[in-house]
Structure 1
């Protein structure tokens, strides 16, 4: 599949480019495309966690702490508060059902964890939530990773509730955590993020993320920093290999503004921070992003 990448930014020193970053961006208001840069199809990865939890919006609405609800939506750093929240969703006797790959904390994490364990995987909160929700639905739990499991049918239905009943993924693969992940265009992803704004009062998902951003990523994480700066007006979620989704509340976009960014060379929080700041600051969200290195100037092509 041919991907149409475009230049998003350069770092220049005395007008000589030293770094160039390519990628793609889509802006959607409600279900109307506002603007696109590039045209790529990619797997949703962890960007789709809000919709993976839409399946259990009712089951997880009560009986779980706000911290547990937040960690269900996270790609966490395996900090102590993250592990406590994730483990609270699954009784100790059921922890053997967890099928995340044994992992160390994410690179750059401040966690002191030094052993690879299933709970240390950044998606362990989501997996624990899926297991808890499946128990309430009466679904089998030993095979929840299988693409044929009813959870995944329900997840696709949650996507179709926004993208239309005829939507089908262009491809399906296995994500790093072992669950299926679906490929879609950035415009489709941005439409899904716009809908998070429009539907933010319909369930617990928006509040769980924006009220406890430190549990969604953790110390030093981009999505956590953006949501802290946004003060409830922006939901942000990182996705592996260069994805960032933004769901923005703004009076100029009453049906919700969804923005999804994909960096071609993979996850790069510094470069993504420049891009996110350039998008958010004009909308009144004071996320300043990183400073350019001494002697360099950041030139944006957005």
Structure 2
């Protein structure tokens, strides 16, 4: 059975410091690629298999864009998003569905409350209920539906690995990662997610993050447009006050977190990091990725410190700050 790395193959990436006592430790693997794509650093074995979860979304969105999905600006950002379900996010998802002439009922993702606390509280006060369009993956699902319609494929059953849109996505993913998918699983939103090496994921994100809209290659032009859209509107990919949006706004990186402790980032100079926390916790993932980019000269220390001060890394006790979640290096 395909599986991820074992505890013996992981290295310590982060610790939780409570009042000067190391309370918990997060182990995992990570890889840093230089701007030219060569390996700058390995922590653990990046040839280990991982499920990228939502860190796969840039690859899925790129496949849809390359297949003719008419996406640009905020719609392209939402195609790549794990959004927090605000009204602003939902309005763009509905625009994508309207372009496909489909209703919200066509979405195959589960109904969910918005991740944004204020939006959820407002819905509760209004006696609202969970909705598919509020689910954090609804932008990706709407994009898959739009891609199906544009190409004349029946949108019914679009989540099946055998559906043309999923075949297209898998082919594009394997092209970008430079390897065959080791396994296919069902993601939390119901879409297929593919097992690959961490290095393969890093290589794909590096290619996307270093692409240009002026490239002679169509796929690279599409990748350049995708990254530009996210950097121009960081709110689209995550949400106000949330990690991916914070680091994109403050540092200009391209960042995409995934469930179970996965994170990928590309700095403005092209340096790329990918990591996976073995215990599945993502609470330290952004901080570790930022410190790795800083360590390799891709980000200034003062800028990283400023961004990290905005991340939810504080440990509290009795209503006071008593420690922090921090990288172990």
Structure 2 counterpart of 1:226: 247
> CA-to-partner distance for each residue in 1:129-176, whole Å, 9 max, x for gaps?
111111111111001000101112211221233333xx2111110001
| Unaligned segments of structure 2, at least 5 residues | 214-220, 316-320
Structure 1 counterpart of 2:38: 32
SS at structure 1 position matched to 2:150: helix
How far does residue 111 in structure 1 lie from its aligned partner after superposition? 2.2
How far does residue 241 in structure 1 lie from its aligned partner after superposition? 1.3
State the 4+ residue runs in structure 1 displaced beyond 3 angstroms.
11-16, 58-62, 290-302
**Which structure is higher in helix share?**
2
Answer yes or no: is the 8 Å Cα contact 2:176–2:207 preserved in 1. yes
Residue 73 (structure 2) aligned to one of 43, 66, 69:
66
Structure 1 counterpart of 2:105: 96
The CA distance in 2 between the partners of 1:74 and 1:60, in whole Å, is 19
Structure 1 counterpart of 2:216: none
Structure 2 counterpart of 1:253: none
TM-score by length of 2: 0.80
Residue 206 (structure 2) aligned to one of 184, 194, 197:
194
The 1:116–1:96 alpha-carbon spacing in structure 2 relative to 1, beyond 3 Å, is: same
Q: Does 1:5 align with 2:26?
A: no
SS at structure 1 position matched to 2:80: coil
- Give the count of matched residue pairs: 290
Residue 83 (structure 1) aligned to one of 66, 82, 90:
90
The CA distance in 1 between the partners of 2:68 and 2:230, in whole Å, is 14
Structure 1 counterpart of 2:49: 41
How far does residue 299 in structure 1 lie from its aligned partner after superposition? 6.3
Structure 1 counterpart of 2:65: 57
The CA distance in 2 between the partners of 1:297 and 1:93, in whole Å, is 46
Answer yes or no: is the 8 Å Cα contact 2:69–2:150 preserved in 1. no
Report the aligned-residue RMSD: 2.3
The 1:297–1:87 alpha-carbon spacing in structure 2 relative to 1, beyond 3 Å, is: closer
Structure 1 counterpart of 2:259: 240
Structure 2 counterpart of 1:249: 268
Q: Does 1:147 align with 2:144?
A: no
Mapping of residues 156-235 of structure 1, within 5 Å: 156-164=170-178, 167-201=179-213, 202-203=221-222, 204-231=225-252, 234-235=253-254
The 1:196–1:161 alpha-carbon spacing in structure 2 relative to 1, beyond 3 Å, is: same
How far does residue 65 in structure 1 lie from its aligned partner after superposition? 5.4
| Unaligned segments of structure 1, at least 5 residues | 251-255
TM-score by length of 1: 0.87
The 1:49–1:12 alpha-carbon spacing in structure 2 relative to 1, beyond 3 Å, is: closer
